Amino acid sequence: MTTFSLRINGHATELAASNRTLLDVLRNDLGLTAARFGCGEEQCGACMVLVDGQPAYACTQPVDTLGGHCITTLEGLAIDGRLHPLQQAFIDEQAGQCGYCLSGILMSAKALLDRTPRPTRADVIAALEPHLCRCGAHVRVIRAVERAAAAMAERAP
């Protein structure tokens, strides 16, 4: 059996080579169910994770291509058991209704704030463009990302 190694949420992980998607392996083999299946066609963003810090659609990403890479899912967002400022801001703004879209949105938002700590509203809208929210929570989602950016800027040295 061919195997390969990658890091998932900071943990070295050994996987068997298989003709499967990252989303399938995360959810069904590793119990990491935050990333969700929506469309399976890179059209909704529900499955978004980070690969080496960049947003990536787990629903179409062949897992076999990820040897040596670092994957981050929503489960890896909290720091030492404390919610990431983005997670806290989404709670504070009540940004979401059913929540189905939120795991993916939070990952794209994290990638945005990592590369642009003080984003404009246009930056936030552009970063979240790949994400559909059927509940129409967009305005509160944008506010939450801006709130998190402000909280993180306050803490920055």
Helix (H) or strand (E) holding 54: strand 54-57
- Regarding 45 and contact with ligand FES (CB under 6 A), the answer is yes
The answer to whether 3 touches 25, Cβ cutoff 8 Å, is: no
d(CA 144, CA 139): 9
- Regarding 28 and contact with ligand FES (CB under 6 A), the answer is no
Q: How far is CA 32 from the centre of its chain?
A: 12
* Cβ 26 to ligand FES shortest distance, Å: 12
Which residue stretch of 2-10, 45-53, 74-82, 147-155 sits at the interface with ligand FES (rule: CB under 6 A)? Answer: 45-53
Helix (H) or strand (E) holding 51: strand 48-51
Chain positions 80 to 139 lying near ligand FES, rule: CB under 6 A, are 96-101, 133-135, 137
Interface ranges with ligand FES (CB under 6 A):
37-40, 42-47, 57, 59, 96-101, 133-135, 137
